[in-house]
């Protein structure tokens, strides 16, 4: 040791680092997080019981949980760790409705049937329980780490990594640039397949470090304004602190809705009457608490401590710093009336400019191969091979949620799956609800009412004849007879399902009503993405 007391005698660089004020005890209180024995005279003694990466979920209760027990419990039981919705949907789609014990199951209790094997080998790598064993700020590959997955910061040189509540967007990217790809879409990047290399604009394509090919698209207007992920996603939803209603229950998956900030009239609270359980948020308010200043509250009851309501002004103070941003209020105009003809539409139904769309996938299980098992943390027997095609990006399809709202849907699964346990391959065609995170100018009337893809019919020309409507599709049919990019058809008497129970495509009667709507000739087709 160099004569200095405690851990920093051997680790002098730990004195410096991006220490958040809440953790300014760090340079002199290493054992609080790392365990070990700071009074020991030998390296072996000092490292007895050492926790190299506090915050991994196998140690979070006795490290981070000493000060943040509620948050650790929420993360351990929340959707970003348990993934119950993903497990249930995969089992339901592939025919394994329940786990071996008859329970719905989660990513920590997977078996070895076809659905669970697919999750083990291809999908379970993003849950927060994956251990972090190296401090590498690689936003493409970096996933897991429990509390560290979000709250660890980059550290210059050999200094100690800092911990912060000002979570960077890159912390979300490793997991959320996959599947729904909202981290990509939000910043205006869209995945394409290799066929794009031979098309127009190939010289402008980008490639991620993991090999995926990207094109540039219009970013979300919130990103252009300077907002980060944490400006709309609170600890209540990201850390599973909402009511225990399942992965998709209210206040669990999403805390803030668009109207919580943009409604014509906002419900505000006086900071002196702050709700119980949110005292720590009150200390973060970045503006002066003058007479008449109020703070809005989400539909789920969370105070938006970084939004100032002062007379007619609405200002959002970005949580990661920067100048306050004015928040526009919803203006009275056609389509915005809550009780009007568009009252069932979600905001995304009109304002999502584009979404990722993948129209072909083939999965095959090779029992002779070997592949990494995310649960066991090692390579095991069996390998899932994937081939995808028809990857593009454009206006999303619309459908109906289980709550009766009109929302945006994307091809969640248009795939053929082969497994030795089945006599024949299984074909599935399912669209999944998605908030694309590409908010912008509203689409025009024609882009919904007379657009085949928006109605779930796939790309093509909708033609009105004396005998009714017909579609000339652009894509060839798949194994079920529907065009390769369709969700349903004009002839379908029963709506097509979605992986989320209750969600569905439009019925035939709904399609005909939508097509029959007449809109003003001045309706702006250019408003379509």
Tell me the per-residue pLDDT of 314-370, one tens digit each, with 9 for 90 and over. Answer: 999 999 999 999 999 988 776 676 666 788 999 999 999 999 999 999 999 999 999
Burial of 211 (0-12, 13-18, 19+ CB in 10 A): exposed
List strand residue ranges (DSSP E) for 321-377, in order: 325-326, 355-373
427 pLDDT more than 60: yes
Dihedral of alpha carbons 26, 131, 99, 96, sign: positive
Percent of the chain with pLDDT over 70: 91
> pLDDT tens for residues 383-401?
999 999 999 999 999 999 9
502 pLDDT more than 90: yes
If one counts every other C-beta atom within 10 angstroms of the C-beta of residue 350, the result is 21
CA distance 110 to 89: 13
Structural element, H or E, at residue 24: none
Tell me the two tokens of residue 171.
């912390």
Question: What pLDDT does residue 301 have?
Answer: 87
CA distance 351 to 365: 40
**Minimal CA–CA distance to 169: which of 214, 129, 203, 219?**
219
> pLDDT tens for residues 119-141?
999 988 888 888 887 777 777 88
256 pLDDT more than 80: yes
């Amino acid at each position: 040791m160099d004569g200095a007391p405690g851990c920093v005698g051997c680790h002098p660089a730990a004195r410096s680092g991006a220490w958040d004020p809440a953790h300014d005890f760090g340079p002199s209180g290493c054992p609080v997080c790392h365990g070990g024995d700071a009074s020991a005279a030998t390296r072996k003694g000092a490292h007895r019981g050492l926790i190299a990466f506090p915050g991994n979920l196998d140690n979070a209760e006795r490290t981070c949980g000493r000060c943040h027990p509620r948050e650790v419990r929420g993360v351990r039981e929340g959707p970003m760790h348990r993934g119950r919705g993903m497990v249930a949907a995969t089992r339901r789609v592939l025919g394994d409705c329940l786990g071996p014990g008859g329970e719905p199951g989660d990513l920590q209790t997977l078996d070895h049937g076809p659905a669970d094997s697919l999750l083990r080998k291809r999908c379970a790598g993003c849950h927060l329980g994956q251990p972090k064993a190296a401090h590498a700020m690689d936003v493409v590959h970096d996933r897991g780490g429990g509390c560290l997955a979000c709250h660890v910061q980059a550290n210059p040189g050999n200094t100690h990594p800092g911990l912060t509540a000002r979570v960077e967007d890159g912390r979300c990217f490793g997991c959320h640039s996959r599947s729904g790809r909202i981290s990509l879409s939000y910043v205006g990047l869209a995945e394409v397949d290799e066929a794009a290399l031979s098309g127009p604009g190939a010289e402008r394509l980008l490639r991620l470090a993991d090999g995926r090919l990207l094109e540039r698209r219009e970013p979300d207007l919130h990103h252009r304004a300077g907002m980060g992920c944490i400006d709309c996603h609170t600890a209540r939803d990201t850390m599973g602190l909402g009511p225990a209603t399942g992965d998709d229950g209210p206040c669990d998956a999403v805390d803030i809705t668009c109207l919580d900030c943009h409604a014509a009239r906002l419900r505000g609270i006086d900071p002196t009457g702050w709700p119980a359980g949110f005292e720590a948020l009150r200390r973060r308010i970045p503006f002066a608490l003058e007479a008449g200043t109020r703070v809005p509250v989400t539909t789920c009851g969370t105070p938006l401590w970084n939004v100032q309501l002062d007379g007619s002004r609405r200002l959002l103070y970005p949580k990661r710093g920067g100048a306050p941003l004015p928040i526009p209020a919803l203006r009275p105009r056609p389509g915005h009336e809550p009780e009007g003809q568009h009252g069932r539409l979600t905001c995304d139904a009109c304002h999502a400019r584009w979404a990722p769309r993948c129209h072909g996938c083939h999965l095959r299980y090779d029992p002779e191969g070997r592949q990494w098992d995310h649960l066991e943390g090692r390579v095991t027997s069996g390998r899932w091979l994937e081939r995808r095609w028809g990857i593009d990006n454009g206006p999303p399809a619309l459908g109906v949620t289980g709550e009766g709202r009109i929302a945006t849907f994307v091809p969640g699964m248009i795939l053929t799956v082969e497994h030795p346990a089945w006599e024949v391959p299984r074909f599935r065609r399912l669209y999944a609800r998605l908030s694309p995170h590409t908010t912008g100018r509203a689409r025009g009337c024609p882009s919904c009412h007379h657009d085949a893809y928006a109605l779930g019919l796939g790309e093509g020309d909708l033609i009105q004849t004396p005998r009714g409507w017909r579609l000339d599709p652009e894509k060839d049919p798949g194994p079920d007879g529907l065009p390769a990019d369709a969700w349903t058809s004009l002839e379908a008497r029963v709506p097509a399902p979605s992986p989320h129970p209750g969600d569905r495509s439009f019925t035939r009667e709904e399609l005909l009503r939508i097509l029959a709507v007449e809109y003003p000739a001045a309706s702006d087709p250019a408003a379509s993405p």
